[in-house]
Chain A
Amino acid sequence: MSGPQRQFSATLLAPGAAAGLVFLLAEPLSFWGGLDSSTGRIIDRWHPQKDEIITGKILLMKAGRGSSSGSSVLAEAIRLGKGPAGIVLLSRDAIVIVGAMVAAELYGIACPVVMAREEDWAGISTAPRLALHATADQAHITLS
């Protein structure tokens, strides 16, 4: 195969399929106190991407941060249709995973969460658009 790699295998953390523009978090974000669930806007006054909106994006975050109340805030944002379309992590962040799982169980809204491999991060995080496909059998990230 020639040219840059188009597809990366990943680890399933919460199932679903999604595609969208990439939103790369420059710094870890605590959803509690950092995300307005009713607008999808970053409200942490110290965060470099304050006032930007994550709604409908493929959110790339190396790691989570902050209060475990973040699970509720993420689930509430997903319920209101203001959450990200999908999330790519580099570590198994329990706060993010629980938020996505609860939204799927209660509202049937999937926000797929996958864990990428460290060596693929550069290729993934520089893409303008990504598609996530995460089922029990396989999970992968595609440049789209």
Chain B
Amino acid sequence: MAPSLSAFDQELLAGTHGEAAAFCMRLLTRFAEAVGAESFIDIEAAHIDGCLYLGEVSLDFVEHLVRHGGRVRVPTTLNVGSVDLIHPELFIGEPKIGSGGARLMKAHEELGCMPTFTCAPYQTMFRPRFGAQIAWAESNAIVFANSVIGARTNRYGDFIDLCCAMTGRAPLYGLHITENRRAEILVEIESLPAEWEDAGPACVAVGHTIGKRCGSLVPAIVGLPRNTREDDLKALGAVAASSGAVALFHAVGLTPEAATVEQAFQGLPPVEVIRLTADDLRQTICNLSTVPDGTPLSGVSFGTPHFSFAEFSRLMPLIEGERPVVDIYINTNRGVLDQLAMPGWDKALEAAGVTLVIDTCTYVTAIMRDMSGAIMTNSGKMAYYAPGNIGVEIAFGSLADCMASARAGKVVRL
């Protein structure tokens, strides 16, 4: 059934607001029909995942909108691109992808999108408010916005994200609607490994498990570590949206729509209960590494999703002392890079042999110079995708394990 159109929607379709907006509304109307949405709503913001070059079609779509004078109608942030525009010399891939990728990023700016080039737009000044209706793309950004902030978005993707931005409208279905945000599966953590001081690995293990086991149902988690921080929930969501299609989770007592179990489930009973023990969590973490301890490393990578200033604060004490013997890469965004200059951390990191990667990410593009040995990371998402995407062996460990291994030149655990 065709969705009902407001007067404004009809103007958009008729070309009153330009040919680019009309083109986008045409696609959006057919998309809405396909997903069964009955109408459209206004959105406050959009986040676009179309900056990564996947072939000429990526560029043709955006150039078509540029040519027709297109302009986004709501504040719109951009996800990572294929190249680091601040340090273009870091790119070592095919020239066509490098030049096409750089043009794609610029073309989005010409549409009025903000050059944030980050997969963590939620940790920039463009963080949406609780309850905001938004159209976001990129799986980790989507799950963070829904879960940790309580903003409302579906899993928008290629082309449709930009169509929402260019019209300021999104189809009303799925997670835009209160009752669809109800938890359905209860995930109870019965015990945590006593040896894990950092909440990071526990959150990654839980995230990986809910991705594998919850399908498209919404989980509510009880029993995360008491010292769980925002960046741990970020890591949890990112891996859950990699091993599965999780777009929203609740963490009881931690996330805004789950002060209590009853609130998370909107008063209804769970359809399933998953219980996890310390052993389950240890096993999940163990399985994330494709190589055994002691394997020679050729690099360490942090910041998938992009490293926040708070994460740098935890890293800085760990880089003091002996210089690492392998390359360390940290993916982050322009806003955080500016913040690092104030305390002089950018210089300290450079002195310690750290390469800061801006605007892009080591798991989607050709940046890492040496991939002959394994790469170690504290990111569950990097561990999940890197073997397939860039063909490396991966070791997963805590932030401290990664730094110790960078000094040892091989995988070690503290």
Contact = CB atoms under 8 A, between A and B. Distances in A.
B52 A13 contact: no
Interface in A121-135: none
A69 B48 CA distance: 12
B58 interface: yes
13 contacts: A67-B139, A69-B49, A70-B157, A71-B157, A72-B58, A79-B56, A94-B34, A95-B157, A98-B27, A101-B31, A102-B61, A105-B26, A106-B64
Interface string A1-38: 00000000000011000000000000000001100010
A68 B155 contact: yes
A98 B31 contact: yes
A64 to B, nearest CB: 11
Contacts of B36: 92
Interface string B127-148: 0000000000101000000000
Query: Binding site of A, secondary structure by majority: helix, strand, loop or mixed?
Result: helix
B117 interface: no
Contact of B31 (A33, A45, A79, A94): A94
Contacts of B26: 105
Given A76-B56, A76-B57, A69 B158 contact: yes
Contacts of A141: none
B27 A101 contact: yes
Contact of B54 (A69, A94, A101, A105): A69
Interface string A88-106: 0000101101110111011
Interface residues on B, range: 20 to 34
A68 B157 CA distance: 5
A11 to B, nearest CB: 10
A85 interface: no
A71 B55 contact: no
A61 interface: no
A13 B33 CA distance: 9
B309 interface: no
Contacts of A97: 30-31, 34
Nearest to A75: B57
A14 B61 CA distance: 18
A85 B159 CA distance: 22
Contacts of A45: 388
Interface string B31-58: 1001110000000000001101011111
Contacts of B23: 105
A73 interface: yes
Interface residues on A, range: 20 to 34
Given A33-B388, A92-B36, A98-B158, A72 B30 contact: no
B160 interface: yes
Given A72-B50, A79-B55, 16 more contacts: A33-B388, A37-B54, A68-B137, A68-B155, A69-B54, A70-B157, A71-B160, A72-B55, A72-B158, A92-B35, A98-B27, A98-B158, A98-B159, A98-B160, A101-B27, A106-B64
Nearest to A78: B57
Contacts, number: 82
B122 interface: no
A95 B60 CA distance: 18
B249 interface: no
Contacts of A13: 34
Contact of A105 (B27, B35, B49, B52): B27
A76 B60 CA distance: 10
A102 B31 CA distance: 11
B396 interface: no
A37 B55 contact: yes
A94 B159 contact: no
B157 A79 contact: no
Contacts of B57: 72, 75-76, 79, 102-103, 106
Contacts of A37: 54-55
Please give me the 9 A-B residue pairs with the lowest Cβ-Cβ distance, nearest first.
A68-B157, A76-B55, A71-B158, A72-B54, A76-B57, A75-B57, A97-B34, A72-B158, A92-B34
B156 interface: yes
B34 A71 contact: no
Given A98-B27, A101-B30, A102-B27, A67 B157 contact: yes
Contact of A68 (B30, B58, B158): B158
Contacts of A102: 27, 57, 61, 159
Contacts of A68: 49, 137, 155-158, 160
Contacts of A76: 54-58
A32 B54 CA distance: 9
B346 to A, nearest CB: 32
A76 B57 CA distance: 5
Contacts of B56: 76, 79
Contacts of B54: 32, 37, 69, 72-73, 76
B27 to A, nearest CB: 6
Contacts of B388: 33, 45
Contacts of A33: 388-389
A72 B26 CA distance: 18
A75 B55 CA distance: 9
